[in-house]
Amino acid sequence: MIRPNNLIAALDAAPANRPFITYWVDEDERETVTFGEFAGRARRQAAVLRNNGVSVGERVVIIMPQGISAMATFVGAMMLGAVPAFLAYPNFKVEPSKYRFGLAGVTANLRAKAVVIDEEFPDEMLGHVALGEEAKLLRVGAGREADGEKDFPMGDIASESLAFIQHSAGTTGLQKGVALTHGAVLRQIEHLRGVLKIKSNDATDIIYNWLPLYHDMGLIACFMLPLVCHLPVVMQSPLDWVMQPESTLQIFTECKCTLAWMPNFAFQFVPRRTPQKRWAQYDLSSVRALINCSEPVRASSMLEFHNAFSSIGLKKTALQSSYAMAENVFAVTQSEIDGPSGPAVIWADGQEFRGAHRIAPVAEGAAGAVSFTSSGRLLPGQLVRIASNSGVALGEGFVGEILVSGDCLFEGYYNRPDLTAKAIVDGWYYTGDLGFLLNGELFVVGRKKDLLIIGGENIYPQDIEEIVGSHPAIHDGRVIAMGVYNPNLGTEEIIAVAEVEREEDLAKAGEIETEIRSSVTSGLGVAVRTIFLKPPKWIVKSTAGKPARSTTREKLLQEHPELSAEN
């Protein structure tokens, strides 16, 4: 097989009649396109973009609901040699003015030439937003797609030219666009094809996806991988999925999907939110690998999923894990697929782990022991180093920051040399994740960066703190937001602690809390679980006079044992 030089060449090599994307709405509504039909739709979108002045190297921002049209627009932009980026579709919870502000910032940073939205895009979300000097707003719909010409000469796309930009976090991080070349994406996919044991030229694998396409799991694993490997993918929107998690079981059963990726919480959400009396209607024997990715992997969540569905054909070896990030295109590690067991789980002495940051293996379930689930071995061409706080490389069994390098690493955040210089030093990307290597496998234990991962989505605590601190009753700057793991959900929940300006404000705590809760949701689209209002001077300050995150967290957990009781 000839190796394609770019993603478009890879798509063009696909058998035209093979099914590519099935968009699943619910049990009685779905749409399927073949590779040939998809390429045709993408070509028509390319013509529309070109007729609107988009050309080689220019950025195209796509804000459309999850679906075939959005995907065809993305590929259409790449066909022109332009550089597309998916942005999240506005969530109805988010206030239009906040949305417009964010959109203006992102399009200005990307210096976008076109912003493509769908016909149903809510007008109030746009207002008179300035999209940057040259950006043009295009409304695309099923009807307008046909406007373009079918065929036109395509320029040659060089392997090391930019293919697209993927964003690495949901909020402030929207401005952190990870720019990736065709070559880097193709190298990642070749490595994935190998470790996932996907057979070339043979669509025996079918991918299932409900993840958003603006997230690396959705974009790389569930769109670019099937595009390059010519595999069918059954896809639904994350919104439809969250309203009917049972559809995961329905789709695996009906479409006989073999591969899927999900964040940790979904391994609990699906069994808990599907009535047990209906489990027996489904059949998960087709699943070859269901990969836990993008949140710390919890053995208990995987076990819950397995215990629920082993009686309907789910193989224990089908539950797998991976460590991935947008900055490395996608995966750094992958546990062994089709191996004798799932990812390794190890037990270590708790005191040694917390005190000496060292892994001292002990027997399973020993008193005071902690357990970790492996994220697997490195993909070919990838390098990992574990570094101490002072930057010294640590040996196996020592916990430190995970640094990543290799042949898929991004070259920088688009238009943000300041952020790039902080993130990549001497060719190593500082992930901000903490972990250790043992027996050649990587174990991820938590975060060094103050980042919350809620249901697989990255959220910066500073964004929450800023909104909470802007409430008139709150002492500005005296707020700490943190993620506290909730074992019932299998993910973190947002907890905020804030000092009131005057102690007497505490009498109105309920009212203040309601107002804060509502402004966090309208600003960021996420819900805060609990807001703790405290009297002035409650939050612990560092020597520099800033709120000290970890000490305040410990103080809060001590005062509210109900929080840590769940850990």
Partner 1 sequence: MTPEAQQMVQYIVEMIRKPGVTVEENTPLVSSGLIDSMALVDLLTKLEDITHLRIPAGKVQPKDMDTVEKMFATAQRVGKPRAVKPLDVPPPPRR
The helix/strand/coil state of 36 is: helix
Q: How far is the CB of 490 from partner 1 (least distance, A)?
A: 10
Closer CB to partner 1, residue 187 or residue 215? 215
- Are residues 484 and 473 in contact, defined by beta-carbon separation less than 8 angstroms? no
Q: ∠ CA(344), CA(329), CA(34), 5° rounding? A: 100
Closer CB to partner 1, residue 54 or residue 489? 489
Closer CB to partner 1, residue 282 or residue 330? 282
Nearest to 479 by CA among 536, 522, 432, 554: 536
Q: How far is the CB of 313 from partner 1 (least distance, A)?
A: 9
- Identity of the amino acid at 303: L
Per-residue three-class SS string for 126-165? CCCCCCCCCCEEEEECHHHHCCCCCCCCCCCCCCCCEEEE
- Are residues 58 and 40 in contact, defined by beta-carbon separation less than 8 angstroms? no
Q: How far is the CB of 291 from partner 1 (least distance, A)?
A: 21
Closer CB to partner 1, residue 25 or residue 506? 25
Closer CB to partner 1, residue 421 or residue 527? 527
Residue 505, exposed/middle/buried by CB under 10 A (0-12, 13-18, 19+)? buried
Q: How far is the CB of 451 from partner 1 (least distance, A)?
A: 19
Q: How far is the CB of 217 from partner 1 (least distance, A)?
A: 18
Q: How far is the CB of 76 from partner 1 (least distance, A)?
A: 27
Query: What is the C-alpha to C-alpha distance for residues 208 and 266, in angstroms, rounded to an integer?
Result: 14
Q: How far is the CB of 176 from partner 1 (least distance, A)?
A: 24
- Are residues 413 and 180 in contact, defined by beta-carbon separation less than 8 angstroms? no
- Identity of the amino acid at 399: V
| DSSP 8-state class, residue 388 | -
Closer CB to partner 1, residue 207 or residue 524? 524
Q: How far is the CB of 358 from partner 1 (least distance, A)?
A: 36
To the nearest 10°, the Cα dihedral for 220, 223, 229, 233?
130
Q: How far is the CB of 302 from partner 1 (least distance, A)?
A: 19
Closer CB to partner 1, residue 145 or residue 493? 493
Nearest to 523 by CA among 87, 172, 131, 122: 172
- Are residues 556 and 497 in contact, defined by beta-carbon separation less than 8 angstroms? yes
Interface residues with partner 1 (CB under 8 A)? 25-29, 92-93, 239-240, 242-245, 247, 253, 265, 269, 273, 275, 278, 281, 283, 455, 489, 510, 514, 517-518, 520-522, 527-529
Closer CB to partner 1, residue 61 or residue 266? 266
**Relative orientation angle of helices 35-51 and 68-79, to the nearest 10 degrees:** 60
- Are residues 297 and 321 in contact, defined by beta-carbon separation less than 8 angstroms? yes
- Are residues 212 and 400 in contact, defined by beta-carbon separation less than 8 angstroms? no
Q: How far is the CB of 514 from partner 1 (least distance, A)?
A: 7
- Phi and psi for 134 in degrees, rounded to 5? -110, 0
Closer CB to partner 1, residue 30 or residue 193? 30
Query: Which residue(s) pair with 85 in the sheet?
Result: 61
Nearest to 44 by CA among 15, 80, 19: 80
Query: What is the C-alpha to C-alpha distance for residues 68 and 34, in angstroms, rounded to an integer?
Result: 11
Closer CB to partner 1, residue 94 or residue 138? 94
Q: How far is the CB of 507 from partner 1 (least distance, A)?
A: 12
Please count the other Cβ atoms lying within 10 Å of the Cβ belonging to residue 18.
13
- Are residues 136 and 113 in contact, defined by beta-carbon separation less than 8 angstroms? yes
Closer CB to partner 1, residue 165 or residue 262? 262
Closer CB to partner 1, residue 275 or residue 355? 275
Closer CB to partner 1, residue 190 or residue 515? 515
390 contact partners, CB below 8 Å, separation of at least 6: none
482 contact partners, CB below 8 Å, separation of at least 6: 452, 461, 494, 495, 496, 497, 549, 553, 556
Q: How far is the CB of 527 from partner 1 (least distance, A)?
A: 4
Closer CB to partner 1, residue 423 or residue 464? 464
CA 283 to chain centroid, in Å, comes to 27
Query: What is the C-alpha to C-alpha distance for residues 426 and 46, in angstroms, rounded to an integer?
Result: 38
Q: How far is the CB of 325 from partner 1 (least distance, A)?
A: 24
- Are residues 133 and 143 in contact, defined by beta-carbon separation less than 8 angstroms? no
Q: How far is the CB of 455 from partner 1 (least distance, A)?
A: 7
Residue 226, exposed/middle/buried by CB under 10 A (0-12, 13-18, 19+)? buried
